Structure 1
Amino acid sequence: MKLSGLLAGLDHHILQGDPEATSITAGTTFDVDRVMPGALFVAVPGHEEGGPGAVAPALARGAAAVVVDGSCVLPAGPADVCVVRVPDTRTAAAVVASRYHGEPGRQMDMVAITGTNGKTSVSYMVESVLRISEGARTGVIGTAGSRIGDELIPMPRSVLSTPESPDLQYLLGCMRDRGVGSVVLEATSMGLLTHRVDRTFVDVGIFTNLSQDHLDDHGTMEKYRDAKLRLFQGLCRHAVVNADDPVGAGISAMMPGAVTTYALDTEADYRATDLTVDAEGTRFTLHHDGRTYPAAIPSPGRFSVANALATVAACHVLGHDLPGLVAALEKMPQIPGRFERFTTATGTSVIVDYAHSPDSLDKVLGTIRGFAPARVITVFGCGGDRDTTKRAEMGAIAGTHSDLCVLTSDNPRGEDPEGILDQVAPGIESTGTPFERFVDRRRAIGFALFEAGPQDVVLIAGKGSEPFQIIGDQLLPFSDMATAREIAGG
C-alpha cells in the first residue's frame, strides 16, 4: 500500500522522500526488532522497544518509511527512505495501522469493554453466549490473549490487555480474514489514553464500573475516570452502561439517544431482581421492555449478574435474539481465573479469582462469605510497582471477610517482596484476623490448602488466569489454578 494513502487526511510534514513512490509491504510497528524490509516504523517516545533513538536501527533493518514527532533528531540515513513528521505518533499510528489492514473493525461487529472490574468476564460471556445461542464465530482480545473460540492467535509475548495499535489492527485483520463476525475487546484506561483503540470502529462500548486502581499510571481518580470515558467520546457508536455506578449514570449526557442502561439497584433498560446465590451460581429474573425472563449463570454473586446484564444488553443492541441470549447464560463454561473453582478430595472448595483491587476483593469475599458453610481462607498479595495506597486497605478487606489470611507475593516486579508484604500486613492486623506470610506464592497456596478442612473455602486472589509471575524483569511460569490442583492432588 502506498504511504500516501496511509497518510491521507493526517496532519503531517514530509521531511524527505516521496510518499506517493513509497510502498509499505511489511506492516507497521513500534518495535525496532520487528522491522522487516518494507515496514513502516513509528518512533513513539518512551516505547521500550523503539522510540526516536531507534530510527537509525530501523533504517538499517530496511524500514521503507519512518514516522516521527517533533522531538526526534534524525540520524543520517538513505535519502530515498521517506521520513514523515506528525504532531503525535500514537494518534497517527492508529490511523495508518488501521488503513494498512483495510480498516477491519468496519467489517465486524465490534464490542469494547472498559471499567475497573469485569472486562475479562464480560468478554468471555459475550463470546460464550453468541457461540452457544447462534454458533457465532467471535474473536476475543484481552488479558488472556487473543483467540477465535479456542484457537489462540500467536503474538509476541506481552502483558498488555489492550495491544498497541499496530498489533491490535493486525489481530483484527486476522480475525476478519478467518470469518469472524464479532470481536470483543478489553479497552483498558491506558489503552484508551494512548490511542490504541482509535480507529477500531466500535459499535458498542460497555462501561462496567469505576473504583480505585491504576493510580500509579494516572495519579488521580479523576484522570483515571477521564481515560475510561474516552471510549464514549467519539470512539463508539452506542454505549451500554452500568446505571448503578455514578460514572456510568453520567455517560447518558455524553451520548444522548445512544445509551442503553443496565442495573441491579436502579431503574434501567435491563434489570435483574430476585437474586438467589449459592456456591454453584446465581438465579435471577431479568426485566426488559416490560417483559421478564427467568435466568441463571454458573457464577455466584451480584457482580456476576451485573456482568451478565452487560453481556445480554450489548448483544441485544447488536441485533441478537434476547430469549436465546438469556437461555445461553446458564450454559456458559467457567471463566478461567474469574471465580473459577474446584473441590478437593477432602471437601475444600478452592476459588481462583483475579480480584486485585479493593473493590473487587471486597465483592468476591462478600459473595463467598454469603454462602461459605465453614471458614474462609484468603491467599492474596499486592502487585509491585503499582498503586501503594491500596495495600493496607486490601489487607483490611481480606481480614474483615476471612477467618485466616495467607499473605504472599502477587507480581512483585521491581519491588522487594518483603517490603510489599510489610505494607499490606497492618491492614490485616487492624482486623484481628490471624494471618501467615510467605513470599513464595506456591508455599502460601500449599499452606492454605493444608490448613483448610472439609467445607472450608480457600480463595486465591490477585492473578486469576495469568500463566506467569513477574519477578524483577522476568516472566516466570506460574498458574494459581494449576498449582492449587497439583498440591491438592488433582
Structure 2
Amino acid sequence: MKLSDLLAGQDHHVLRGDPRRTEITAGATFDADRVTPGSVFAAVPGHLTGGPEALAPAVARGAVAVLVDDQAPPLPAATGHVCAVRVPDVRKAAAVVAARYFGEPGRAMELIAVTGTNGKTSVSYMVESVLRIAEGVRVGVIGTAGSRIGDEPVPMPPSVLTTPESPDLQYLLGHMRDRATGSVVLEATSMGLLTHRLDRTFIDVGVFTNLTQDHLDDHGTMENYRDAKLRLFQGLCRRAVINADDPVGAGIRALMPDAVTTYALDADADYRASDLVVDASGTRFTLHHDGRKYPAAIPSPGRFSVSNALATLAACHLLGHGLAGLVDALERMPQIPGRFERLQAPNGASVIVDYAHSPDSLDKVLTTIRGFARGRVITVFGCGGDRDTTKRVEMGAIAGAHSDLCVLTSDNPRHEDPEAILDQIAPGIEAAGTPFERYTDRRRAIAAALGTAGPDDIVLIAGKGSEPHQIVGDTLLPFSDMATVRELIVG
C-alpha cells in the first residue's frame, strides 16, 4: 500500500520523499531490530528498542519510511533516501497506519475489550469458553497469557505487554480474521489505552470490571489511573457493559448514556446475581435478567468469580448470543489457568494458584478461601519490582490477617533487590502477628509451603498466575507456578 493511503486524513507534514510513491509492504513497527525491508519505522520517543535515536539502524535494516514527532532531532544523514513524515503523535499515527495496512480487521469480527484492575483475564477466558461451548464459535484471545485462537497459540516475539503495541495488535487481529475467527476478546490495560494501542480496533463491547489501587507507578494518582481506563468508553467502543457495584461505573454511564448495560451483585442492574452458595468446587447462584430467573453455576469459588461471570454473560448476550445457552456453558467451562486454579496434593492438601497481585485482589481471594477452608491457610506471595511500592505493606497486612502462615518470596523483581522488596512487605505481616518465612528463590518458597502443608490445609500461591516467566532485570526466565507445584508434588 502507498504511504499516502495509510496516512490519509491524518495530520502530517512530509519532511522528505513522496508518500504517494512510497510502497509499504511490511507494515509498521516501533522496534528497530524488528524492521524488515518495506516497513514503516515509527520513532516513538522513549521506546526501549526504538525512538528517534534508532532511525539510522532502522533504515539500514530496510525501512522505506519513518514517522517522527515534532520534538524529534534533525534526521540523520543515513535516512536521506527514505520518506520521512512528521506527525503530532507517533503512537496515534502508527495505530491508524497499522490498522489500514491490515485492512482494519476489527471490522470483520465481534470484538469485546475488557478493562479494569482485576478480572480482565478471567472475563476473557470466560467469554472464549462460553461462546465455544454454547455455539461452537471460533474465538481469538489476546491478553496476559499471550494470543491464541482456541488452543492454537499465535506466534509472536516474547513480550510482557498484556495489550500489544498497535502494530502487533493489528497484525494479530488480521491473523485471526484470516483464520475465520468469529469473535475476539482482548484485555485493555490502562497503559494500552493511554498509549493508543487500541485505536482503530472497532470494539463492539467494552467491559469495565472494577477499579482498585494498582499501577500508581505508571499513573501517579488514582484519578489518572481511572481516566486512562475510561478512554475505552470515549469513542473506542460502541456499547459498554459496566459493573454497577463499582462507583466508577457511574462515570461511564455519563460518557455513553444510551449505550450502557449494567451488571451487579448488590446494586440494581440489568444482569444481577443472588442466592450465592460458595464451596471449594465453585459457586452456585441465581441470575436475574429482564424479569426472569436462571439457575446458574461456575466452577470457580467466590463473589468475584460471579461478578466476572455476569460481565461475560452480559457482553455475549448483548452481541446476540442466546442467554440460556450461555448460562449452561458457564457451568461446563474448564478452570481458568492461573485464576483460582486448583490442584490436590497426594497428602490431601489443596493448592490454589492465582494472579492476585494487588491489595484488593489478594483480599478477595483470601476471603473466599477462608470461607471454605477446613485447615490452615498458607500464603506464598511477593510484590513486583519497579512497581507501586505503596501497596507492599498493605498486601503484607492482608496476607497476615487471612493466613495462618505466610511465605514471602520474589514475584518479578525486575531491577530491584528482592530482599529489599521483602523488607517492605514484612512489617504488614508482623503487625498482624502472623508467622512468616522468606525465600527470595520462588521455587524454594513454594517447596517450603508444600512441605509444611498437611491434609485439609490450603496453599495459595499468589501474584503470577499463569505467567510462564519471571522477570529478573531485563531477562525473562522461564518459570511457572503451577508447573513448579506439579514437579514438586510428583517428584
Task: Calculate the aligned-residue CA RMSD, in Å.
Answer: 0.8
One-letter amino acid matched to 2:405: L
Please give the secondary structure, in 2, of the residue aligned with 1:77. helix
> Do the aligned partners of 1:11 and 1:87 also contact (CA within 8 Å) in 2?
yes
Match of 2:5 in 1: 5
Q: Which residue of 2 aligns with 1:201?
A: 202
Match of 2:359 in 1: 358
User: 2:375 corresponds to which letter in structure 1?
Assistant: A
Map 1:292-441 onto structure 2 (within 5 A): 292-441=293-442
Hey, which bits of structure 1, 4+ residues long, moved more than 6 A? none
Q: Which residue of 1 aligns with 2:445?
A: 444
Equivalent position of 2:58 in the other structure: 58
Letter in 1 for 2:443: R
Alpha-carbon spacing, 1:242–1:78, altered in 2? closer, same or farther (3 Å): closer
Tell me if the contact between 1:262 and 1:268 (Cα under 8 Å) persists in the aligned partners. yes
Structure 1 SS opposite 2:324: helix
Contact 1:409 1:417 in 2 (8 A): yes
Secondary structure of the corresponding residue to residue 430 of structure 1: helix
The aligned amino acid for 2:172 is L
C-alpha separation between the residues in 2 aligned to 1:442 and 1:57? 40
- Unaligned residue ranges in structure 2 (runs of 5+): none
Offset of residue 360 of structure 1: 0.0
Distance between the aligned counterparts of 2:141 and 2:220, measured in 1? 30
Partner SS state of residue 78, structure 2: coil
Tell me the residue number matched to 2:83.
82
CA contact (8 A) 2:378 2:404 kept: yes
TM (norm. structure 2) is: 0.99
Shift of residue 71, structure 1, vs aligned partner: 1.7
Could you tell me which runs of 5 or more consecutive residues in structure 1 were left unpaired when the two chains were aligned. Answer: none
Give distance in 2, aligned partners of 1:206 and 1:473: 32
Output one character per residue of 1:322-367: Cα deviation in whole Å (capped at 9) or x when no partner: 0000000001000000000011111000000000000000000000
Name the SS of the counterpart of 1:292 in structure 2.
strand
Q: Which amino acid aligns with 1:23?
A: E
Structure 1 residue 145: deviation in Å?
Answer: 0.1
Q: Which amino acid in structure 1 is aligned with residue 24 of structure 2?
A: I
Range moving further from structure 2, 57-66 or 132-141: 57-66
Between the aligned partners of 2:119 and 2:447, the Cα distance in structure 1 is 28
**1:20 matched residue in structure 2:** 20
Q: CA deviation at 1:79?
A: 4.2
Q: Is the 8 A contact 2:55 2:79 kept in 1?
A: no
Which residue type is aligned with residue 472 of structure 1? G
CA contact (8 A) 2:56 2:79 kept: no
Distance in 2, matches of 1:235 and 1:219, equals: 24
Q: TM-score, normalised by structure 1?
A: 0.99
1:77 Cα deviation after fit: 3.4
Contact kept? 1:242, 1:249, Cα under 8 Å: no
**What is aligned with 1:225?**
226
Aligned letter for 2:304?
F
Q: What is the CA distance between 1:250 and its match in structure 2?
A: 2.4
Rounded Cα–Cα distance in structure 2 between residues aligned with 1:69 and 1:76: 18
Secondary structure of 1:330's counterpart equals helix
- Other-structure match for 1:486: 487
The answer on whether the counterparts of 1:299 and 1:334 sit within 8 Å (CA) in structure 2 is: yes
Aligned counterpart, 2:114:
113
Alpha-carbon distance between aligned partners in 2 of 1:246 and 1:138, rounded to the nearest angstrom:
31
Give the counterpart letter for 2:352 in structure 1. Answer: I
CA distance in 1, matches of 2:293, 2:130: 19
1:104 matches 2:121: no
Aligned 8 A contact 2:241 2:311 in 1:
yes
Deviations 1:149-186 (A, max 9, x none): 00000101000000000000000000000000110010
* Distance in structure 1 (CA, Å) of the matches to 2:270 and 2:138: 27
Q: Distance in 1 between matches of 2:168 and 2:390?
A: 33
Measured after TM superposition, the shift of residue 267 of structure 1 is 0.4
Structure 2 Cα separation of the partners of residues 387 and 26 of structure 1: 38
Deviation at 1:486, TM superposition (A): 1.2
Cα offsets for 1:81-130 (capped at 9, x unmatched): 21100000001011000000000001111100000000000000000000
* Preserved contact between residue 372 and residue 456 of structure 1 (Cα < 8 Å): yes
The CA distance in 2 between the partners of 1:232 and 1:168, in whole Å, is 19
Please give the per-residue CA displacement for 1:181-218, whole angstroms capped at 9, x wherever unaligned. Answer: 11001000000000001110000000000000000000
Q: Whole-Å Cα distance in 1 between the matches of residues 253 and 72 of structure 2?
A: 41
Counterparts of 1:469 and 1:32, CA distance in 2:
25
Output the amino acid matched with 1:134: E
Q: Contact 2:343–2:350 (CA<8 Å) still a contact in 1?
A: yes
After superposition, the Cα gap between the structure-2 partners of 1:78 and 1:339, relative to the gap in structure 1 and judged at 3 Å, is closer
Other-structure match for 1:136: 137
Output the amino acid matched with 1:357: S
Task: Tell me by how many angstroms 1:379 deviates.
Answer: 0.4
Distance 1:250 1:195 in 2: 21
Distance 1:350 1:35 in 2: 44
> 1:243-284 deviations in whole A, cap 9, x for unaligned?
000001321111011000000001000000000000000000
Answering whether residue 72 of structure 2 is matched by residue 72 of structure 1, we say yes
Return the alpha-carbon distance in structure 2 between the equivalents of residues 472 and 16 of structure 1: 39
Counterpart Cα distance in 2 of 1:186 and 1:277: 27
Q: Matched residues in 2 for 1:144 and 1:78: separation?
A: 38
Residue of structure 2 in register with 1:171 after alignment: 172
